[in-house]
Amino acid sequence: MITLKSDREIREMAESGAILAGMHIKLRDLIKPGISSWEIEKFARKYFKENDAIAEQIGFEGYKYATCVSVNDEICHGFPRKNLILKDGDLIKVDTVVNYHGAMSDSCWSYVVGKSTPEIDRLMDVTKKALYLGIEQAQVGNRIGDIGAAIQHFTEDENGFGDVREFIGHGIGPTMHESPNVPHYGEAGRGLRLRPGMTITIEPMINLGGWEAEMDDPNGWTARTQDGSLSCQFEHTIAITNDGPKILTSQDPEFDAKYLLPEK
């Protein structure tokens, strides 16, 4: 079922999103060579508790952690691990969902550990630009396919990267995963028409190589690129409004200025 949110509910989701964004901003200083990916999990749990928020992923379909920490060829759903020590040039994706007094927000961000490479920089740049191309299509009256078509054309046709098919965006609120599905590939002009009050995630997962995923990890969760290439992801929670798409998990008010809710 698709739930349409009131202005009040959207602003409550933005409060949740601000907590989640704040955690991601803090991770910029935490993530460095020599720490374990478990340190990210510990920090997230502490940060959410200090901000009176709930790590909504814990317990979801049996998942045990507040965060997904996926490294290099891991596309998504990587477990935070005490024995995984981060090193120079690792590409880290940190994904989490916050419940703040019943309001949900979902965001994944990518980080490079220590010294980057031109290859990683380009993959991250293309993936982030793809996210914002998708956001720009999240207009009242457009269709779900417009979002996916813009992302797929930019990532695959223009840049030769792999646009993951197996994992997609979704509606969010009042629970973590709701209708509609929001693929990051597809055909413009097709799919559900977007309406004011819809809240969705746009979260392209883009591979340096092919788009295919391998999902045979013994833990039953972690997906990897089939060809072993690097994978990157950026994700925001978005509200569809008559004034255009609004980012509810912004980390950069200046960069995102046109996509922010107006002040009361």
How far apart, in whole angstroms, are the C-alpha atoms of residue 85 and residue 209? 25
Ordered domains of the chain (ranges, CATH): 7-259 (3.90.230.10)
Average pLDDT over residues 112-138: 98
Annotated binding site for substrate: 77, 177
Average pLDDT over residues 18-31: 98
CA triplet 128, 151, 3: central angle to 5 degrees? Answer: 95
What's at 13, amino acid-wise? M
Query: Is the confidence at residue 223, as pLDDT, over 90?
Result: yes
Query: Is the confidence at residue 264, as pLDDT, over 90?
Result: no
Annotated binding site: 77, 95, 106, 170, 177, 203, 235
Query: Is the confidence at residue 145, as pLDDT, over 90?
Result: yes
Q: Residue 136 in 3-state DSSP?
A: helix
pLDDT for res 257: 97
pLDDT for res 1: 84
How far apart, in whole angstroms, are the C-alpha atoms of residue 211 and residue 209? 7
Q: Does residue 239 contact residue 5 with C-beta atoms inside 8 Å?
A: yes
Tell me the residue ranges of DSSP E strands in the chain: 54-55, 67-71, 74-76, 91-100, 103-112, 162-163, 169-171, 178-182, 199-202, 205-207, 213-214, 223-225, 231-233, 236-239, 246-247
Query: Is the confidence at residue 125, as pLDDT, over 90?
Result: yes
pLDDT for res 110: 98
Annotated binding site for a divalent metal cation: 95, 106, 170, 203, 235
Which one, of 114, 151, 112, lies nearest residue 135 by Cα? 151
Neighbours of 191 (CB within 10 A): 20
Q: What is the mean pLDDT of the chain?
A: 97
pLDDT for res 263: 86
Average pLDDT over residues 252-264: 94
Query: Is the confidence at residue 4, as pLDDT, over 80?
Result: yes
| Residue listed under structure tokens 């013994």 | 218
Residues ≥6 apart with Cβ < 8 Å to 64: 58, 79
